[in-house]
Structure 1
């Protein structure tokens, strides 16, 4: 007898997900004027360790900016921290972006390791001196001008690609293997020698033939089926940013420093952009980004179709995949691109404010010219905006003291369709967490198809006392109503990874006595099918690399790839740079 589909969650999401209602007028026709109570930071200043979201700069802050804080030591297992944290809230803390002067991000490289449903107890001590002054309340008061006068790039070029055409870890290649019993096919050891205290190694890519991962001043490619090294590509300096997208013919893009760091306080600019052929293991071209000061802080890089787009504090540029310059700007007056989201379309997050007074717009961009096709004015008072999907356009926004407070879906003309509040009103923490960092395309535990949004619920006590559990909730992008939930099972938590057609690919984390799993979930019912059962002997390594803060996972061509985005000198806690599983 077939099992009935899972029932909808007993507790609907707080705040609704339909057209926001203006509390002053009662109107629901459009986004303008809707408000919400002032947000106050949870806890007192200095509580815990205020770790910033996203990659911390590897260079001194820009002139006039306050100096950053020190880099914490590696996590020490065996210690506790007070109280149960809601799902997605790492014990390192989550300091909201926007509480600091423009271009200043305290802290160093984020601590490593993904979530664990076994609640690994850790504590990190760091010397932190933070004074937060929150003046007044934060009210959402947005308007949508729908105009095209805002320009993401100030000099156009000849016509290049149109929207779409690229492939990436969210498009295809998610088939179910013939044999679900998986083994470790690749284990990239943690670098034995890290030349400075901390380095960025962001990104990982997979084609049918090759898996590639940045490391110390290089990118290394491995045969995807055997794990054997295929090639090693030296770089002039550390990788500062990488595109998560891969073209149909196996090309991707990176930005890296123009020379190796001579010391931990080195200020080498991240001004070299290159396109890499992943199967051949070679650079197709390399150019210097325009502008004098391009650093890892605030750096964005993506691919849409055959266009490579990058933005940084003070400039932006677009290139064809063959290296032809399409647009560029090294300075802005007023609005500037904060970052780009790629894939099927090109979407820019544009900041028209200054300092902590951000005024964001979400713009659909012509990838050939860098100019906006339409513009949506986001609610005022936001601290950050992330692009989750470009087709349909879905963005995550953060206000107050939490990095992500709402998710908004837009229609094909840039009008607000719906909004989902992620917070529990009683304590201001997320009930559903897409796990976004500052980086524009950094949300790692959320998936979107043409009709639905898929989010993990917060962890909660299940029937077993030996581990928490959670669910994936499907929300209708048009009505905002929850459609179904799919349970992780006892002693496990489950995280959405990506879409493959009408199937949601998700990762179920390991228990104490069995490895993790990759499952395919029917988007009409929430029914799960096991794609891969990972071996128990590598479950500890899995926990360290599970998708979360500073770690990510790919499922491509029936294989699961996991890696970290930064490395540290003399680390004893970290064992692997990357892992891959396949049958």
Structure 2
């Protein structure tokens, strides 16, 4: 079986090499949740007499037409850092011990075992899954198809005037310490946002409050998916008291997003834990199934409509348990077996009514955490051999076919891509799947001016695992990342420099031509409010000319002199 080597590394200091981004810029290091990330400020003005951050300078720069004999742009196939397949692994240079070890790690990761569900029994296969050869079956082929098939027009249209105005900037609540406020959704009439021990609906006309749903305890999780205008949340059964300071997250509830009604709530009991409710830390939604999981207890599921229990947490004799689920078009799970450090992980598709796996893909030994990037098709992300660089938490994506075999492996360990996965099975950012491709940003790099930063939106073909020729530029001093699909188009956000407002664009997947849907104000107050959110700990929602950026964690202000902190900011284009 021929396994492609990891993407070639760019030269030191070249495009894609880690650089110091501006404060608050996309990809800037942020503290892990625990307290919430502090508010990011705009880049500082340079000293007098020096060129300002991001200002254009003379001379041809990145993204401009190349002169004969110059290398192709960053991110394009064949460019420095672009993944390329080779018929056989290249011979490492003398003394390249690290290169050998990295190559062996990647090769070992591609040798996998699959568990196929056949009738009522299990069929185990090991070694070559039969899908590995497809990764490099034709290394001389062009990277991916030139155009996606079966184009479906989107519903998002450019407004008559894309210049937006602030709709509502909601001040951030002040908890006793740190609190979760994860969860935000948009319907045709309402923006819904989790708050301290409550969920609130705001109308889309002027941002006025439509309804408020109080909960008995703090929210600790929410589905990013919506089904029949319903979403599910995790919350604590009570507020903390001096006698019980650490209330566990045990309650699951479903909310009608239009009316603000809590349709039902409940919890689950462990099969071996008596009457004590199970603690959950993640929740998702697929069709008529709500599924929640905990790190040690496993997962449970309920019917969306009435809260009827579908299955309860189960841990088998090999200490196998579901540690998290992915929802949307299908229901998937990461199942972890064994004990540290000898875990065995599986990416699975589940029967949503029984929880039984219908497809099971075994990851290579040594992987401690894995993520569900997509459920249809099933795409599992993992950091193989701790080789992830700028693609935080994910070095490889594994595309699994309906038989549970590896269809394609997409390497991200070069450090040239801005995808991120962390902490929860369904918490992967900056990746959107559609048109038989996965769209993700390049890691930010130097722009036209030596002090500016920018990046591009790129894609990989899910059939071959090869990078395509797709490319949409963020533009000088902007950074781009995808939000969601709209038909066959990609809705993306361009995070602005310190003197501009952000932009929402629709990208035609056939041509990668961008259509401006929204451009936010550039005045100081509006710009600072927009960029005061860390992309890694925020939720971005755009629908029909309305754009919302919200926090997932809140904490006490660090200083009375700090900029105002907002639970969410919003913009409306006419």
Q: Bin the TM-score by the shorter chain.
A: 0.7 to 0.9
Aligned length, in residue pairs:
453
Q: Is the 8 A contact 1:386 1:438 kept in 2?
A: no
Aligned with residue 20 of structure 2, among 84, 92, 101: 84
Partner of 2:241: 262
Gaps of 5+ in 1: 1-25, 29-33, 38-81, 95-106, 121-135, 152-170, 425-429
Q: Is the 8 A contact 2:255 2:261 kept in 1?
A: yes
The CA distance in 1 between the partners of 2:40 and 2:379, in whole Å, is 25
1:165-216: per-residue Cα shift (whole Å, max 9, x none)? xxxxxx976444343111111211111x312x11111111111111111111
Partner of 1:549: 536
Q: Is the 8 A contact 1:183 1:534 kept in 2?
A: yes
Partner of 1:351: 336
C-alpha change, 1:577 and 1:282, in structure 2 (3 Å) is same
Aligned with residue 526 of structure 1, among 508, 512, 533: 512
Partner of 1:567: 554
The CA distance in 2 between the partners of 1:342 and 1:418, in whole Å, is 21
C-alpha change, 1:252 and 1:432, in structure 2 (3 Å) is same
SS of structure 1 residue aligned to 2:249: coil
Does structure 1 residue 194 correspond to structure 2 residue 194? no
Does structure 1 residue 208 correspond to structure 2 residue 178? no
Q: Is the 8 A contact 1:147 1:375 kept in 2?
A: yes
Does structure 1 residue 306 correspond to structure 2 residue 288? yes
1:69-114: per-residue Cα shift (whole Å, max 9, x none)? xxxxxxxxxxxxx9636997543478xxxxxxxxxxxx72342457
Q: Is the 8 A contact 1:251 1:278 kept in 2?
A: yes
SS of structure 2 residue aligned to 1:237: coil
Q: Is the 8 A contact 2:268 2:277 kept in 1?
A: no
Q: Is the 8 A contact 2:548 2:568 kept in 1?
A: yes
The CA distance in 1 between the partners of 2:444 and 2:213, in whole Å, is 41
The CA distance in 2 between the partners of 1:550 and 1:239, in whole Å, is 16
C-alpha change, 1:113 and 1:433, in structure 2 (3 Å) is farther
C-alpha change, 1:360 and 1:286, in structure 2 (3 Å) is same
Does structure 1 residue 513 correspond to structure 2 residue 478? no
Does structure 1 residue 315 correspond to structure 2 residue 298? yes
Higher-Rg structure is 2
Partner of 1:71: none
Matches within 5 A, 1:323-334: 323-329=307-313, 331-334=315-318
Q: CA deviation at 1:221?
A: 1.0
Q: CA deviation at 1:236?
A: 1.0
Q: Is the 8 A contact 2:6 2:413 kept in 1?
A: no
Gaps of 5+ in 2: 8-17, 47-101, 124-152, 271-275
C-alpha change, 1:206 and 1:353, in structure 2 (3 Å) is same
C-alpha change, 1:453 and 1:112, in structure 2 (3 Å) is farther
C-alpha change, 1:413 and 1:176, in structure 2 (3 Å) is farther
Q: Is the 8 A contact 2:435 2:488 kept in 1?
A: no
Partner of 1:385: 370
1:512-563: per-residue Cα shift (whole Å, max 9, x none)? 22200000011112111101111113111221225x2211211223321111
Q: Is the 8 A contact 1:113 1:564 kept in 2?
A: no
SS of structure 2 residue aligned to 1:549: helix
Q: CA deviation at 1:240?
A: 0.9
Matches within 5 A, 1:85-234: 90-92=28-30, 108-112=34-38, 139-140=108-109, 141-147=111-117, 174-191=156-173, 193-195=174-176, 197-234=177-214
Partner of 1:484: 470
**More moved, 486-495 vs 141-150:** 141-150
Q: Is the 8 A contact 1:117 1:493 kept in 2?
A: no
TM-score (norm 2): 0.73
The CA distance in 2 between the partners of 1:110 and 1:189, in whole Å, is 16
The CA distance in 2 between the partners of 1:350 and 1:119, in whole Å, is 49
TM-score (norm 1): 0.72
Q: Supply the RMSD in Å over aligned alpha carbons.
A: 3.1
Matches within 5 A, 1:39-78: none
Matches within 5 A, 1:497-508: 497-508=483-494
Does structure 1 residue 338 correspond to structure 2 residue 308? no
